[in-house]
Amino acid sequence: MTTSELSLFKAAFLQSWNAIVITDADASQGYGVVFANPAFCTMTGYSFEELRGRPLKMLQGPDTDPMVIADLRTCLQQERYFEGTTYNYRKDGSSYVVHWNISPVRDENGKLTHFVSVQQDISEFVRVARDNQLLARALDATSDPVVVTDAHAHITFVNSAFSRVTGYPVTEVMGKTPAMLRSGQHDEAFYANLRKTLTAGKDFRATFINRRRDGSIYHAEQSISPVMDEKGRITHFVSVTKDISDRVEKEQGLIHDASHDTLTDLYNRRFGEQVLSSSFRQARALGGVISLILCDIDHFKQVNDRFGHPTGDRVIVNVAKALRHTVRGRDAVIRWGGEEFLVLLDDCPAEPGQQLAERMRARVEALQDEEVGRITLSLGLATLAADDTLEQLIERADTALYAAKQAGRNRVSVAP
C-alpha cells in the first residue's frame, strides 16, 4: 500500500461521521482499544488516551442487554461478524443507545489480529420511535375517532374508535380516502369549501353527516387540520371526530315534538302558521300562487258523543293519514283544530287544487271505521288573490268550507 493510500485511509478513519474503534484480538485482556476516532471519543465522552488499551466492557452498565453481550462474546470467540443494539454508558454516566457491528481483521496469513467496530448513537431515533409508539397508543386509546391521511388524502392511520363508530376495520380503510364515508347529504359546495380551507393551511370544522359501513347515517362534529413540514409544505391531515348522533337525534326529536301534533303527527297549528307565513311571503316575493284547503270531519261531535273520545281519536288519525297520503310531497297538512285540517298546496292554482281536494274527499269517504262506519269530509278551497293578505286567504277558505257544509256536507266548495 502506498503512502498516499495510507494517508487516505487515515483521513477516512479520523473524519468518519460514524464512530470507529479498533481493538486487539486478545480475549484474555478483554480486547483492548488500539485506535478510536474522534467520533467515537465524542460519543463516549472518553479521550483516546483514556480509551487506549482498555476493554470496551467499561462502556457497559445496568441497562446493557446481557443477551446482546452474550451474543457479542460468542461472535468474537468464533471470529465472526457481529451486529447488535443495546445501552452503553458515557464517561459522565449518562446512557445512550448504540447500534454497532464488529468485523474480524486478519493479516496476510489469515491470522486474526484485530477487531474493527463501526458504531452509531441511535438514542434520538429510538426516542422518536418510542414517542411515535406512545402517540399511536394514546390516539388509539382515545374515545373519539382519529384519522390521519397523507397530503393526497389517502388514509395512513385510524384508531380503534374510528372502527367502532364507522364499522370499517383498520385493514379495510388503509390507503383509501375519507370519501368512502360520504352520505350524499352534503352538496359539492360543502366539500369545495373544505378543500379550499385546508389547501390554505387552515383548520376546517363542521358537522358532517356520514355513512357507516352498514349504510346507516351518523352525525359527527369533525375538525380537520393540515400538518406541515419545516418548509411549510402540507404533508398530512389529521381529523378528530366526535359522534353526536345521539344529541342530534334528541334535538331533532325536540324539534319534531315542538312542530307536530301528538295525535296525528301532522304539523301542529303553531308551526303550521309559520309554514303558511313563509309560503305566503315567498309567493308574494316571487309572484307564485298557493291554494289553501280547509276541511272538517262531518258530524264529528256525534262520533264523540256516541262512541267516545278514543274512537273519535282513531277517526281523526285515519283521516289525517288519508290526507297525508293524498297530497303531493311539497304540500303541508296541518291539524288546524280538533277535527279540522288545513292543507297548504304549494305552487298550485285553483283548478288542480280543486281536483286534489276532490281526491282527498273521495279517499276519506272510502274509509270504513269498524265502529262508526262511513266517514265524510267537507272542504273549502281558496286560491291566493292579488290583494289577499294571509288572514284574508284563510278566511276565504273558511267561508268556502262553511258553504260546503251548508250545501249538504261531503263536498268541495271553491271560494270565488
Residue 340: active-site member: no
3-state helix, strand, coil in the chain (%, to 5): 45, 30, 30
Q: How many CB atoms lie within 10 A of CB 23?
A: 25
Q: Are 39 and 16 in contact (CB under 8 A)?
A: yes
Distances (CA, A) of 321 to 91, 142, 233, 263: 89, 47, 59, 11
d(CA 198, CA 238): 11
What is the CA 321 to chain-centroid distance, rounded?
A: 38
Selected catalytic residue, list 339, 340, 358, 395: 339
What whole-number distance in Å separates Cα of residue 85 and Cα of residue 123? 11
180: nearest Cα among 158, 134, 213: 213
The three-point CA angle 68-69-71 to 5° equals 65
Q: Which residues contact 295 (CB under 8 A, 6 or more apart)?
A: 323, 340, 341, 342, 343, 357, 360, 377, 378, 379, 380, 401
- Walk across the sheet containing 412-414 and list its strands: 332-335, 340-346, 290-297, 377-383, 412-414
Q: Is the distance from CB of 343 to CB of 334 less than 8 angstroms?
A: yes
- Using an 8 Å Cβ cutoff, are 235 and 150 in contact? yes
**CA-based angle 150:155:159, to the nearest 5?**
120
Angle value at C-alpha 294, between 371 and 403, nearest 5 degrees: 90
Residue 208's H or E segment, with its range, is strand 204-211
Q: Which residues contact 341 (CB under 8 A, 6 or more apart)?
A: 266, 294, 295, 296, 319, 320, 323, 333, 334, 335
Which secondary structure element, helix H or strand E, spans residue 335, and what is its range?
Answer: strand 332-335
Supply φ then ψ for residue 68, to 5 degrees. -65, -40
DSSP code per residue over 242-281:
EE-HHHHHHHHHHHHHHHB-TTT-SBPHHHHHHHHHHHHH
Provide the annotated active-site residues: 339
